[in-house]
Amino acid sequence: MKYPYTYHFKLITKTALAVAALVSFSLGAHAQELGNETQTQHPLGAQYFMNQYLANPAMAGLGTGLKLDFAHRRLWQGIEGAPVTTSATANIPVTDRVAAGLQLYHDKAGLLSQTRVAVTYAYHLPLNLEKGTALHFGLSGVLDNKRITSKGMEGDPDPAVARYNNRDNFFDADFGMAYTNEHLTLQASVPSLFAKFTKDEYESFNKPLFFAAASYKVTTDEGSTITSVEPKICVRGIKGESSMIDIGANVAVLNDLANVFAMYHSTRNFSAGMGFNFKQNAGLQLIYNSQTSGLKNYTDGAFEINLHLNLFRKLVPGTQEQQQ
């Protein structure tokens, strides 16, 4: 169903005012210089539009077919031992309401490495088929492995390193939920549920607490150069740090053949990217992340590459045709 442009303009204006008030309140309540540059503070840019399953297990299996995504990024160009992140995800609708997903995540920063494997069960509950409204729930079982590599160390081994590496692999869970309709998406997720109740002498801060986001997608008439515009705001909670705000938009053009997006972060940096799609079956997205204010004098920005495949779309039905 197409709505008049005046309808979308009024709604987006009201949403923008609410977002501005939220950002002003959040920044005023939490304003401070962020000295710790951690991977928790720099999520993969693909999670905002291209692969929302990265941030929320409830987004697994939306749309049709088997979705495969691969992401690779190196932060802090020019600095030895800078964080390198690689991620691979797969998700597929099993029935009209049930979906399954798999996430593989590896991050290495200096001598520290983390490997995370998550298996996801998602349930999609239609509320109104005519209006396309639905509720989505997702739960992931997680195996988290963190180690310090001895390669590259000088001198005698530190007993603290051995104690760190002797810890057992940690089993955890992520939970997420979302509400969607033809234009609006509201979502929230809580990663590492069990870790929030577990005391860890090595990780007393920088743990992710929650993720919340709201977006509104405006589609244009068929034949227009601009296919859709989707503004979005995200709030990320991190233990021991200020709440972080991400605000921006994605613009699809030429019947979703290509897209450009940009997100400004409250850490005083931005992410911008562009992507290309082939008949909605394959996609490539390149993302540039500028450095936060604390590191601008030491390093250039970071580059991220994302690959997307959507297979068996005609053979595997899904809940609804919605971009992840």
Burial of 239: CB neighbours in 10 Å, binned 0-12, 13-18, 19+: middle
- What is the pLDDT, as a whole number, of residue 20? 43
Q: Is the pLDDT of residue 110 over 50?
A: yes
Taking 50 as the threshold, does the pLDDT of residue 79 lie above it?
yes
Burial of 111 (0-12, 13-18, 19+ CB in 10 A): middle
Higher pLDDT, 323 or 251: 251
Specify which residues 125 forms β-bridges with: 135
Strand partners, 135: 125, 179
The chain-wide mean pLDDT, for the chain, equals: 81
pLDDT category, 169, cuts 50, 70, 90?
low
Task: Give pLDDT tens digits for 281-313.
Answer: 999 999 998 876 555 555 567 899 999 999 988
Report the pLDDT value the prediction gives residue 52, as an integer from 0 to 100. Answer: 96
| pTM metric for this prediction | 0.81
Q: Kindly tell me if the per-residue pLDDT of 215 is higher than 90.
A: yes
The answer on pLDDT for 228 being more than 60 is yes
- In CATH, which of 3.40.50.300, 1.10.1040.50, 1.20.120.1760, 2.40.160.40 is domain 5-311? 2.40.160.40
What is the C-alpha to C-alpha distance for residues 228 and 143, in angstroms, rounded to an integer? 38
What mean pLDDT comes out for the span 164-179?
A: 81
Asked if 109 and 70 count as a contact pair (C-beta separation under 8 A), the reply is no
Please determine, for residue 53, whether its predicted confidence score (pLDDT) is greater than 60.
Answer: yes
pLDDT score for 38 = 46
Is the confidence at residue 322, as pLDDT, over 60?
Answer: no
281 CB contacts (<8 Å, ≥6 apart)? Answer: 309, 310, 311, 313
Query: Which DSSP state fits 129?
Result: T
Residue 286 pLDDT = 96
Q: Each residue of 12-45: pLDDT tens digit?
A: 554 444 444 433 333 333 333 333 344 456 789 9
User: Residue with structure tokens 């490539």?
Assistant: 284
Q: And the tokens for 318?
A: 């899904």
Lowest mean pLDDT, pick from 9-18, 119-128, 174-183, 201-210: 9-18
Does the structure show a pLDDT above 90 at 249? yes
